[in-house]
Amino acid sequence: MKKYPRIYSLSTIGIIHHQKNDYIFHPYCTDFIGDSDSGKSIIADLLQLIFVGSSVFRSATIPVKDRREPDGLVLRSPGKSLDYGYAFVNIEIANGQFVTVSAYLESTSKATHPFIVQAGLTIEQDDFAPCRSLFMPSIFKMTNVSFH
């Protein structure tokens, strides 16, 4: 039996090792496996940045060269001075009903900027209007799309 609320998925746009990906979480157990430096710990870092914020962020791993900061998670575009990365967590609050908690990261800032995606316009405590569909990067055509 599924218990709610639960993390349904994590999606990324413009994040190193995770350019545009959707990760669906199993209701009971989700494992991430892969080669060294393939981006597994970045998933834990993104969850922490979304739920806890950058002011108390501590990377899941300590990089060999120096500390991993939120601005270092953003995929850089040659010739651009500012790039953005996005991470979205779809939370299933009831069967087929979702609220999305998210954050965007800037390549020039160590601060993250949280936001919520829901069906309604008001945000009152315990008064979110759930969406009936998932908010995932795969729904966007990435050509000439600006999220900021």
Domains of the chain: 4-139 (3.40.50.300)
| DSSP state string for 57-85 | ---SS--SSS---GGGGBPPPTT-S--EE
Cβ contacts of residue 7 below 8 Å, gap of 6+? Answer: 25, 89, 90, 91, 92
> Cβ distance 58 to 47 under 8 Å?
no
Under 8 Å CB-to-CB from 26, ≥6 apart: which residues?
none
Give Rg (Cα) of the chain: 16
Secondary structure (H, E, C), 31-50: CCCCCCCCCHHHHHHHHHHH
- What is the per-residue pLDDT for 62? 66
Rounded to an integer, what distance in angstroms lies between the CA atom of residue 23 and that of residue 55? 26
- For 14-36, how does the pLDDT look when each residue is reduced to its tens digit (9 = 90+)? 988 878 888 889 888 888 888 87
CA distance 71 to 10: 19
* pTM, rounded to two decimals: 0.80
pLDDT in the model for residue 144: 45
Q: Identify the pLDDT of residue 1.
A: 61
**pLDDT score at 143:** 42
Arithmetic mean of pLDDT, 110-125: 81
